[in-house]
Every structure is written in C-alpha cells, then in structure tokens.
Amino acid sequence: MAKQFDVVIIGGGLVGASCALSMAKTNPALNIAVVEANQVTSDYHPSFDDRSIALAEQSVAYLQNLNLFDPTASYTAAIRQVNVSDRGHFGKAHINSDEFAKPSLGYVVEVNPFGRALHLRLTLSTISLYCPDSVTAIEQTLHSNTLTLQSGEQLNAALLVIADGAQSPTRNLLGLDFNTRPYEQHAIIANVEVAGGHNNHAFERFTQNGPIALLPMSNNRYSLVWCMPKNQIDQHMAFNEQDFLGALQSAFGYRGGQFTKVGIRTSYPLVYGQVESLTAHRTVVIGNAAHAIHPIAGQGFNLGLRDVQVLSNLIANSQHDLGSYAFTREYVQNRSSDIKTVMSLTDALVRLFSNSSRVLALGRSIGLFSMDLFPALKAPLAKQLMGQVKQGKRL
C-alpha cells in the first residue's frame, strides 16, 4: 500500500531541505516527505560542495524566522559593502549597508556546513526522509501523484514539489522540458586567501573576458567566481597555485587586496535555463529545477528561497485545495513576475558587460559613475541585492 502524504518534496539539497523545514514550521499539521538520492556522509554530497552562496537580507530574515540561520556561525560572513567596477573604464559604484540603515546587505554562507546543518534538522524533525532513494515512476490520478521509489516504496502526494536541481530526473519523468541557452562562458569556483583581510567587502569586477566576483568569507578568504570563455578554462585549471594567483591578480587588480593562497578549484559551464512550466498536475517545480541563472549577481539561491516562501505561504493561506489546479495556478501568479525580473536583469547584465562596444562601455561607465554620485540611483539595485522584491499577488 502506498503511504499517504500531503506534500512530497523530491530533492534534499539547500532548496529542498529549506522547503520541507519551512512547510513544517508554518504548517505543522502537514504530513511531509523528502526523497533525496544521495546519502549525506562526512565527506561527500554533490549538493554540498565547497562553493559559497550569497544570502540577501530578505533571505536571512526569512531563514532566521525559521531558526535555520545563525549569522554568528563560523561558516558565515556579513556583506557590508558591494563594489562594482568595469576594468579598463572609469565607471564604478559602491553600495554600503550604512546608506540604507542596515547592519548588512546580506551574508555569505559556505554551502557544505550549511547544507549539513539543514540535513541534520531534517533528520531530527517529524518529516519522513527517504535517503538515499529516488523516484523511478510517477502515476497521476485525480487527487494525487503516486511515486514509486528505487527502494520499492510507494508514496501518494496531494502535492509534489520538484527540487532536485537543474538536471532534475523527476522533472524529466513528467516530460517537462528545461529550455537552456549557453553563455559560452565557464566559471571557476575556488576559495582565495587575501592578505590584510577583506573588511566584509564584496566585489563584482567586469573584465573583457567575463565577470569576476569575490564574496567575503571567514578566515580572511574570498569565495571566488571567475567567469571566462570556454577555451581559457583548461589552461587556468591546469595552472599551479602561484601561476593561478598571478593570473587572477592581473585580471582583477588589487582592489580586493593581494591574493596569497587558493583552495581546490572546480569549474562548470554557465547557462540560462528555465522550465517550460512551473507547474504540472498536482506538481510545483522550484529552485534550480525551475530556473538556472548566471552567478553574476549571486541571486540563484535567493530566487529559490522565494519559491519556498511563496509556496509555504500559499499552503497556509490559499482558499484552494492543496495541489489542485487552482492552487498551482495561484503559485504561478505569485512567482512568475519575480522570476522573470531576476532572470531578465541577470541576463541583461551578462550581455551588457560582455560586449566590447566602445559606445556601450561608455554608457556602462556613465551609469556606474552616476550611481556613485547620486545615491538615489542605487536604491533599485540595492533593493534587488537585498531581496526586497514584490511578489505577484499579496496573500
């Protein structure tokens, strides 16, 4: 006999775990299950790698309200200033938390310890956790989705939530296409030590080969995201430590300090991707399974967390039956505008700052210079960075 659940979430990574814990906190009567394909061990989980993510101020507040985030944890660091510049051109802008009477613009969180902390909370909760396990078949009926797992277990879900990443096998089982467009760029991810400390400053430096982002971390380290054309990746990944640091210093300059050490380097291709539909029969798609964006503005996890927030609020406040067509339609109405705005803005930034046109370069410089001269012009960008966005419909 299939086990009955109100909600079954596929994927126990950052978004999936946050979603389950959020729903359990805001809707304690729900019967929730999480299916996660990978066992969380002391040394490996593909979702909990050595990356760091930027949490916008709104995301921090939401996670703190759920008791899922501690700003004093050893794996977090505050962002108090963001510096944006265009290498080789005069334009630059600085966004400081003091200008907006905020203690920070957000936080940088190391994915590995943060993900493990969320997973531990899952294991200690009343949520049913199937791990390691995965979905092999989905049968749709009027009132539920019946999931058959690799282990042989069967689960009935009034609402199915797909949160198993950009390569989502569950999304594929439902025949939902994921439309992608490559950026012809790859990103190198690494942690970099800096002499003299980072003073909680983050940097977005645009170069002719692609943007370089530095996010402040613990122990005088930056989290580096270095974007470049595909044909340069192999060479930079093969550099020894000193040659890599020299190339990075040459490309970035000394605005962030002198780089002294680099950790393990990984790389991956950058794409623009979006699921053809955010919903299917009694199904909602969230996080990277729904949208993949360039890391240029650090908005990926924040966008997924807003998916979680809207979905949890809908369950608590919607007048429609959980998982019904009216319910999933309401989710789309509440999320489409924010997702479109963030994806369009991020894509436009990539294309604007990847263009070598002198006219566009002058326009970029004037825009950044004007932002620094007139603080009021910073407000829209600062609000986006802090996650202060309007949802499609007030609940």
Q: Give the pLDDT confidence of 290-325 residue by residue, as tens digits.
A: 999 988 777 889 999 999 999 999 999 999 999 999
d(C-alpha 21, C-alpha 28), whole Å: 10
DSSP structure string for 54-68: EEEHHHHHHHHHTT-
Instruction: Record the tokens describing residue 120, joined without a space.
Output: 């531990």
| 359, pLDDT greater than 50 | no
Query: What average pLDDT does range 235-252 have in this prediction?
Result: 96
Running DSSP on this structure, what letter comes out for residue 390? Answer: -
Confidence of residue 162 (pLDDT cuts 50, 70, 90): very high
Q: Please check the confidence at residue 354 and state whether its pLDDT lies above 80.
A: no
Each domain of the chain, given as residue ranges in start order, spans 3-53+63-68+111-179+272-351
The pLDDT of residue 39 is: 82
362, pLDDT greater than 60: no
Higher pLDDT, 39 or 48: 39
Provide mean pLDDT across the span 185-197. Answer: 92
Contact 248, 224 (CB under 8 A): yes
Say if residue 82's pLDDT is above 90: no
User: Given pLDDT bands bounded at 50, 70 and 90, which one contains residue 382?
Assistant: very low
- Backbone φ and ψ for 60, nearest 5 degrees, come out as -60, -45
Q: Is residue 157 scored above 90 in pLDDT?
A: yes
Task: Give the residue, 249 or 196, on which the prediction is more confident.
Answer: 249
Q: In the CATH hierarchy, which top-level class contains the domain 3-53+63-68+111-179+272-351?
A: alpha beta
Cα–Cα distance measured from residue 53 to residue 83, given in angstroms and rounded to the nearest whole number: 17
Asked, as a colleague might, if the bond just before 132 is cis with ω within 30 of 0, I would say: yes
Average pLDDT in the 34-39 region? 93
Residue 62, class by beta-carbon neighbours within 10 Å (0-12 exposed, 13-18 middle, 19+ buried)? buried
Given this model, what pLDDT does residue 40 score?
76
Q: With contact defined as beta carbons under 8 Å apart, do 228 and 210 qualify?
A: yes
Residues 6 or more apart whose Cβ sits within 8 Å of residue 369: 90, 91, 92, 93
Average pLDDT over residues 68-88: 86
pLDDT in tens, 327-341: 999 999 999 999 998
pLDDT class for 89, splitting at 50, 70, 90?
very low
pLDDT score, position 320? 96
What's the mean pLDDT in 75-104?
A: 74
**Distance from C-alpha of 352 to C-alpha of 348, rounded to nearest angstrom:** 6
Question: Could you tell me the sign of the dihedral formed by the alpha carbons of 33, 37, 43, 48, in that order?
Answer: negative
Q: d(Cα 325, Cα 302) in Å, to the nearest integer?
A: 26
**String of b and e for 323-342 (b: at least 16 CB within 10 Å)?**
bbeebbebbeebbeebbeeb
**8 Å CB contact between 162 and 284:** yes
pTM of the shown model: 0.87
Q: What is the pLDDT of residue 100?
A: 66
pLDDT > 70? residue 394: no
Does residue 235 register a pLDDT over 50?
yes
pLDDT band at 353 (very low <50, low <70, confident <90, very high): low
Q: Is pLDDT of 388 > 90?
A: no
Amino acid at 247: A
- Name the phi and psi angles at 63, rounded to 5: -65, -35
Residue 374 to residues 130, 353, 365, Cα–Cα distance (Å): 53, 22, 14
Q: What is the dihedral of CA 350, 356, 360, 366, to 10 degrees?
A: 90
